[in-house]
Structure formats: structure tokens, C-alpha cells
């Protein structure tokens, strides 16, 4: 494992990451965030054997220069770990779902017919370029064309 965990939660963190990997998750997705949580616990709560509400909520507060989406990911990963602790019979405070709030819903931009026409007209006028010799023709290189069918 790439990360070394040193808090009193280290063994449980390793077991949780191994479980997630066995279920098909990428190790680094969880390990990086939980390593940061582990360091937080070592630095702020070195003798605590239970993830309390204070620890969880302190960890799940917006850091300087952090965007809300990153905080939501970090919180969700910790929430999963805390639910795991409870599932193996340990005490832990589980952060309520929606604790951070919801992100902004994605609203797609739909191009008008005029915008699409202007886009393709501009693409058709692209000049030759040495790094992309087929760009101005709107073609793919001959070696790739058979793969595209």
C-alpha cells in the first residue's frame, strides 16, 4: 500500500480500503483521502479511539482554497468509512447524508442552429497545421479510418 496510516484507526482504515478494492474501487480514491484523515487524527486527536461527532464535523469543514465539491467527496468517503466501522461493531458518529448540502445541478447548454452552423463553418476554415495534417480536411489518418468503420 502506498500510504502508511499511523492513527489509532490505522488497522480499520487499511481493512476498509482492502474491502473497497475487493469490491472494485480504485485504492487511491479512498487511500489518499483517508490518509489525510489519518494525519488529521494523529495531529489533533492522537489518543481518540472512536470517531466522535467533534472529530467528524471538524474534518468535514471547508478548508481554505477548497471547493465544495472536494469537501463533498472527502465527506462521502469518510461517511463510508464510518458506516464500515459501525458494520464491524465499533462505535462511530456517522455524518448525516446531506450534511454538506447538495451541489449545483448540471444544466446543459443547448446550442442553437445558428451557433452550430457557425461552429462547423469555422471548423471547415481551419488552416493546415504540421501537428495535425488532416485537420483542415475533417478527416482521420488513413491508418485509423478502417477502425472507425
Arithmetic mean of pLDDT over the chain: 84
Q: What is the pLDDT of residue 66?
A: 84
Note the pLDDT tens digit of each residue in 71-105: 888 899 999 999 999 999 999 999 888 776 665 67
Instruction: Report which of residues 141 and 18 the model is more confident about.
Output: 18
Q: Residues 133-140: what's their mean pLDDT? A: 61
Q: Residues 102-115: what's their mean pLDDT? A: 82
For every residue of 25-92, DSSP letters joined together read: --HHHHHHHHHHHHHHHHHH-TT--SB-HHHHHHHTSPPTT--HHHHHHHHHHHHHHHHHHHHTT--B
Q: What is the pLDDT of residue 115?
A: 94
Instruction: Report which of residues 69 and 116 the model is more confident about.
Output: 116
Q: Looking at the whole model, is its pTM more than 0.75?
A: no
Cell readout for 118 is: 457557425
Q: What is the pLDDT of residue 149?
A: 42
Q: What is the pLDDT of residue 24?
A: 86
CA 113 to each of CA 15, 116, 120, 124, 141: distance values in angstroms, whole numbers, following the listed order? 54, 5, 11, 17, 29
Given a cut of 70, is residue 148 above it in pLDDT?
no
Instruction: Report the 10 Å Cβ neighbour count for 99.
Output: 15
* Torsion angle of the four alpha carbons 21, 24, 29, 35, in this order, in degrees rounded to the nearest 10: -10
Amino acid at each position: 500500500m502506498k500510504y502508511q496510516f499511523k492513527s489509532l484507526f490505522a488497522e480499520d482504515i487499511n481493512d476498509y480500503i482492502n474491502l473497497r478494492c475487493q469490491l472494485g474501487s480504485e485504492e487511491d480514491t479512498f487511500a489518499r483521502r483517508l490518509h489525510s484523515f489519518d494525519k488529521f487524527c494523529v495531529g489533533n486527536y492522537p489518543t481518540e479511539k472512536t470517531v466522535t461527532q467533534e472529530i467528524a464535523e471538524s474534518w468535514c469543514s471547508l478548508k481554505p482554497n477548497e471547493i465544495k465539491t472536494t469537501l463533498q467527496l472527502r465527506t462521502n468517503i469518510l461517511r463510508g468509512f464510518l458506516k464500515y466501522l459501525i458494520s464491524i461493531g465499533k462505535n462511530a458518529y456517522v455524518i448525516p447524508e446531506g450534511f454538506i448540502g447538495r451541489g449545483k445541478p448540471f444544466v446543459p447548454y443547448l446550442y442553437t442552429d445558428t451557433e452550430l452552423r457557425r461552429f462547423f463553418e469555422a471548423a471547415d476554415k481551419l488552416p493546415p497545421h504540421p501537428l495535425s495534417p488532416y485537420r483542415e480536411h475533417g478527416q482521420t489518418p488513413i491508418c485509423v479510418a478502417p477502425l472507425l468503420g
